[in-house]
Amino acid sequence: MHQDYLESSEIDSESKAVLLSVIIAAYNVGLFLEDCISSVIGQIDPPMYEIVCVDDGSDDNVPSIVAEYATEYPNLFSYIRQENRGLYEARKTGLRGARGEYCVFLDGDDMLAPTALHSIAEYLSKKPVDIVSFLCCRNTKFCEDDFSRQLRVPQDYGEHPSIKSLRDLVLVEDTFNNAALKVIRKSCLRDLIAEKEQVRLNMAEDKLITAKALTNASSCGVLNEILYYYRESDASVTRGSFSLVRSEDLRYVYRKMLEYYSQWGSSVPVGKLHALFLRQMSLQASLLMGAPLKVGDKKRLVTEMVDNPEFKMAYCSEGLRYLGKVRKHMVVLMANRRVIALSTITHISSIITHRSN
For residue 217, is pLDDT > 90? yes
Mind listing the pLDDT tens digit for each residue in 224-246? 898 999 887 655 544 567 889 99
Q: What is the mean pLDDT of residues 259-271?
A: 97
From residue 35, give the alpha-carbon distance in Å to each of 117, 140, 149, 204, 232.
16, 13, 22, 26, 14
Query: Residue 248 corresponds to which amino acid?
Result: E
Maximum distance among all alpha carbons in the chain? 65
For residue 345, is pLDDT > 60? yes
From residue 266, give the alpha-carbon distance in Å to each of 66, 260, 278.
43, 8, 20
For residue 352, is pLDDT > 50? no
Same domain, 90 and 209: yes
| Sheet architecture: strand order including 49-56 | 5-7, 77-82, 49-56, 18-26, 100-107, 182-185, 131-138, 220-230, 111-112
Domain that holds residue 323: 240-356
pLDDT value of residue 6? 43
Q: What is the mean pLDDT of residues 48-60?
A: 95
Residue 272 vs residue 3, higher pLDDT: 272
* CA distance from start to end of the chain: 48
pLDDT value of residue 4? 46
> Quick check: 116 and 209 in contact, CB under 8 A?
no
Query: What is the three-class DSSP state of 95?
Result: helix
pLDDT value of residue 51? 96
Residues 6+ apart with CB under 8 A from 62: 26, 27, 28, 29, 30, 33, 55, 108
Same domain, 191 and 274: no
Mind listing the pLDDT tens digit for each residue in 154-165? 666 778 899 999
The CA angle 120-125-127, to the nearest 5 degrees, is: 85
Same domain, 188 and 163: yes
pLDDT value of residue 220? 96
Check residue 182 and report its DSSP letter: E
pLDDT value of residue 92? 97
Least confident of 4-13, 89-98, 191-200: 4-13
Model confidence at 111, pLDDT cuts 50, 70, 90, reads: very high
pLDDT value of residue 238? 45
Distance (Å, rounded) from C-alpha 31 to C-alpha 157? 39
Tell me what percent of the residues of the chain surpass a pLDDT of 90: 74
Same domain, 262 and 221: no
3-state helix, strand, coil in the chain (%, to 5): 50, 15, 35
Domain boundary among 205, 222, 238: 238
Q: What is the mean pLDDT of residues 5-15?
A: 40
Domain of 60, CATH number, reads 3.90.550.10
Same domain, 204 and 259: no
Same domain, 228 and 245: no
Q: For residue 56, which of 75, 74, 83, 36 has the smallest C-alpha distance?
A: 83
For residue 221, is pLDDT > 80? yes
Check residue 2 and report its DSSP letter: P
Residue 156 vs residue 23, higher pLDDT: 23
Same domain, 111 and 225: yes
Same domain, 217 and 278: no
Same domain, 175 and 260: no
Average pLDDT, the chain: 87
The structural domain count of the chain equals 2
Domain boundary among 188, 222, 238: 238
For residue 140, is pLDDT > 90? no
Q: What is the mean pLDDT of residues 106-131?
A: 95
Mind listing the pLDDT tens digit for each residue in 25-39? 999 999 999 999 999
Same domain, 254 and 272: yes
Q: What is the mean pLDDT of residues 300-316?
A: 96
Same domain, 114 and 136: yes
pLDDT value of residue 2? 35
Same domain, 208 and 313: no
Mind listing the pLDDT tens digit for each residue in 279-291? 999 999 999 999 9
Domain boundary among 238, 273, 301: 238
